[in-house]
Amino acid sequence: MKVVFYWILAVIITFAAIIYQRKTGPTYDKKTQVTIDNQNYKFKLVRSHGGTTDCKIQLGMPDKNVGGVLEYKKYPTKDEWTQVELSRENDLLTGSLPNLPPAGKYEYKITLKKGDQNFELNQGKPVIIRFKGHVPETILFPHIFFMFFAMFLGNVAGIMALFKYKKFRFYTNITVIALFIGGMILGPLVQLYAFNELWAGIPFAWDLTDNKTLVAFLFWVLAFFMNRKKNARFIQLSLQS
């Protein structure tokens, strides 16, 4: 029963981390809402676009009397804002951002209009969107799987170490392998396809994602070697903090 408890707790922690990442990550859609004539409308503003097509922005707006304006400029620049009227497609207001090369960015904002009233989305604050190249599914899906698998096994190892369960060393070893495949092999390949750069972390640059992956991998490698000693359980606890 103790082992079942460890696995259930690891599942809960892993899913909590995934949900937190989805809500706070810089590439996930920005949620916003606006109230027009006592009717509340919720929207998602895209912050990432892949491929070679323009980025289409669609807002569900059944009120036919509501129009809108999309404003955008390259980020970070001091260029003038480009304004585009949103077009209507049935219950959708639609605009598009011209495609940019991989890693190119726009900042954009949208203002809805009804009569002489203006309604700024996201409280008038610009949203940053980054363009990327197409990543083959044969690389992207295994990368995602191994990264979340490593996260889950790392939580299992940490919990088992916390409760002094002897198999934590085994799960530490599997975590190192999964993180190496997902983060150190497939991760750079994903970035190469997406942004034409194999590695943007230390010592070449300061990309946050690459550096976090590198630090996590080095810590788990340290745990792997420390776990060869019987009194090294403390390194597992430090990895979970």
- In this prediction, residue 181 carries a pLDDT of 97
Residues 30-41: tens digit of each pLDDT = 999 999 999 999
Residue 8: both structure tokens together:
């259930």
Q: With the C-alpha atoms ordered 17, 57, 187, 177, is the resulting torsion angle positive or negative?
A: positive
The CATH fold assigned to 30-132 is: Immunoglobulin-like (2.60.40)
Query: How far is 18 from 10, CA to CA, in rounded Å?
Result: 12
| pTM, two decimal places | 0.80
**Sequence ranges of the domains in the chain:** 30-132, 135-239
For the ranges 84-88, 138-142, 172-176, 202-206, which has the lowest average pLDDT? 202-206
**Alpha helices (H) along the chain:** 2-24, 137-162, 168-179, 187-195, 208-226, 234-239
Residues 162-213: tens digit of each pLDDT = 888 888 889 999 999 999 999 999 999 999 999 999 988 888 888 888 898 9
Q: Give the residue carrying structure tokens 């996590």.
A: 216
Give the mean model confidence (pLDDT) for residues 3-28: 86
Query: How far is 164 from 10, CA to CA, in rounded Å?
Result: 15
- In this prediction, residue 234 carries a pLDDT of 44
Query: How far is 138 from 103, CA to CA, in rounded Å?
Result: 21
Query: How far is 221 from 199, CA to CA, in rounded Å?
Result: 20
Bridge partners of residue 81, in order along the sequence: none
